[in-house]
């Protein structure tokens, strides 16, 4: 493996800003930085509010993609779920149409400013649109306390929920929630997301018996190899998810899912469809509910079309330098 210098990173850096089709986790314009190395392109897309200690892991993932490459895949394609933002129920069918062939949907719940009834109606609309055989999972991004999560998941269980992703914020709350769900006869498995990718010690989820499965992302964990290590150490079933990546970043997510020894759940890798544009004309979007395993090369014309403003480019250059010091 060749190791880049900071100068190497900055010399190849391209920053793009792509509008979102709908607001997603508060984002209306997705800004990411792309770097090019001897093995291809990598994406550095840590969300803007992340400080250098956390964002540096995302930079490490970009460096892995561009200067090291990824492990050999054990499958040629990866099943993908539809992703339904916190939209009104009448908008659900339109969102699902962008994920043709998907038999699993992840539904965002616990959106700030919305109610439990909003969540239930949205999930009901997804179940109605996809039919009884589809898998429907929900993602609360840690917004509920244990009592609220128990109550809401008790209501949502009527729609045959595959699992609830990060219903509570802390590992201890996830553990207590699993106990509460079992005590109340609520059959909704719990998945840990932020408790894995944002934790100083992801193994606490395993040690406290706080989840039935884990959700992993390549970039927040520092790259594909680091994410594979976390899965192996946790010993729990894993679902791979993305982080509003362009197709360049999505290729790393697919590489992670393709390298997992076992993959029993559809992955949250259909989010390129949530962007109004992309950095390539050959986008990594699902076909028939699955994604192929391949690299992506940006189109120079699209890099120019979606180029961020000069002040934003300078901000990202300074951010790369700050994160480089943390590496």
Check 23, 106, 198, 217 and give the catalytic one: 217
Q: Report yes or no: 101 and 125 within 8 Å, Cβ to Cβ.
A: no
Check 106, 108, 198, 325 and give the catalytic one: 108
State how beta strands 77-79 and 290-292 pair. Answer: antiparallel
Phi-psi region of 223 (alpha: psi -120 to 50; beta: other; left: phi over 0): left
Instruction: Tell me, yes or no, if 23 is annotated catalytic.
Output: no
**Is 326 annotated to bind ligand?**
no
**SS3 assignment, position 313:** helix
Tokens of 76: 């040629």
Burial of 32: CB neighbours in 10 Å, binned 0-12, 13-18, 19+: buried
Q: CB count, 10 Å around CB of 294?
A: 15
Beta-bridge partner residues of 79: 290
Instruction: Tell me, yes or no, if 108 is annotated catalytic.
Output: yes
**Is 139 annotated to bind ligand?**
yes
> Nearest 5°: CA angle at 321, between 320 and 326?
90
Only one residue has tokens 């969540």, namely: 119
Feature table: binding site: 139, 165, 193
Catalytic residues: 108, 217
- Tell me the binding residues for Mg(2+): 139, 165, 193
């Amino acid at each position: 493996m060749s190791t880049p210098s900071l100068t190497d990173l900055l010399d190849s850096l391209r920053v793009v800003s792509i509008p979102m089709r709908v607001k997603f986790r508060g984002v209306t314009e997705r800004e990411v930085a792309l770097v090019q190395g001897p093995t291809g392109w990598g994406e550095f897309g840590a969300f803007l509010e992340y400080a250098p200690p956390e964002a540096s892991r995302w930079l490490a993932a970009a460096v892995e993609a561009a200067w090291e490459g990824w492990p050999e895949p054990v499958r040629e394609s990866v099943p993908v779920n539809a992703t339904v933002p916190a939209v009104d129920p009448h908008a659900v069918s339109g969102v699902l149409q962008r994920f043709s062939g998907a038999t699993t949907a992840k539904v965002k719940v616990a959106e700030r400013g919305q109610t439990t009834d909003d969540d239930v109606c949205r999930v009901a609309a997804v179940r109605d649109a996809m039919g009884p055989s589809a898998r429907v999972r929900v993602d609360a991004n840690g917004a509920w306390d244990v009592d609220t999560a128990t109550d809401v998941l008790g209501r949502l269980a009527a729609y045959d929920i595959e699992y609830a992703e990060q219903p509570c914020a802390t590992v201890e709350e996830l553990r207590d929630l699993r106990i509460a769900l079992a005590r109340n006869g609520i059959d909704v498995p719990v998945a840990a997301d932020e408790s894995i990718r944002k934790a100083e010690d992801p193994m606490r989820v395993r040690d406290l018996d706080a989840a039935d499965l884990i959700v992993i992302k390549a970039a927040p964990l520092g790259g594909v190899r680091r994410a594979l290590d976390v899965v192996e150490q946790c010993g729990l079933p894993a679902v791979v998810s993305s982080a509003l990546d362009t197709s360049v970043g999505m290729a790393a997510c697919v590489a992670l899912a393709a390298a997992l020894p076992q993959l029993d759940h559809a992955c949250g890798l259909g989010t390129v469809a949530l962007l109004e544009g992309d950095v390539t004309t050959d986008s990594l979007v699902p076909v028939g509910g699955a994604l192929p395993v391949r690299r992506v090369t940006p189109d120079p014309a699209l890099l120019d079309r979606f180029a961020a403003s000069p002040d934003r480019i300078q901000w990202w250059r300074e951010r790369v330098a700050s994160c480089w010091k943390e590496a």
